[in-house]
């Protein structure tokens, strides 16, 4: 019985748009799956970024769709 846990850690730029962040998240989730990683760690605010002037302009539905896409991959 394997008692190890494979964890992948992803670091992304803190001020990119949600479309870019979603594309990168999908890429790294697929890559982690190929590497048999059981856990993938992303930074907080990974999809929306930390750039407040941008965050307040994002349509809530766009965020929900991005989260839904991520959930479909896991």
Residue 52 covered by a domain:
yes
Please tell me the pTM assigned to this model.
0.87
What is the model's pLDDT at position 1? 72
How far CA 2 is from CA of 33, 34, 43, 53, in Å, comes to 17, 18, 28, 46
What is the model's pLDDT at position 3? 85
Spans in the chain with pLDDT lower than 70: none
Question: Could you give the 3-state DSSP secondary structure of residue 41?
Answer: strand
Mean pLDDT of the chain: 93
What is the model's pLDDT at position 17? 95
Q: Which domain holds residue 63?
A: 7-73
Give the tens place of pLDDT for each residue, 41-55: 999 999 999 899 999
Residue 49 covered by a domain:
yes
Residue 34 covered by a domain:
yes
Cα distance between residue 61 and residue 1, in whole Å: 43
Residue 1 covered by a domain:
no
Residue 22 covered by a domain:
yes
Reading the block at residue 12, the tokens are 């992304």
What is the model's pLDDT at position 2? 72
How many separate domains does the chain show?
Answer: 1
Residue 37 covered by a domain:
yes
Question: Could you give the 3-state DSSP secondary structure of residue 8?
Answer: strand
Residue 39 per-residue DSSP state = E
């Amino acid at each position: 019985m394997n008692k190890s846990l494979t964890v992948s850690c992803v670091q992304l730029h803190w001020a990119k748009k949600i479309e870019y962040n979603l594309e990168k998240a999908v890429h790294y989730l697929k890559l982690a799956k190929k590497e048999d990683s059981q856990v993938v760690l992303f930074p907080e605010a990974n999809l929306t970024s930390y750039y407040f002037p941008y965050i307040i302009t994002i349509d809530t539905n766009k965020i929900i769709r991005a989260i839904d896409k991520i959930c479909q991959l896991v």
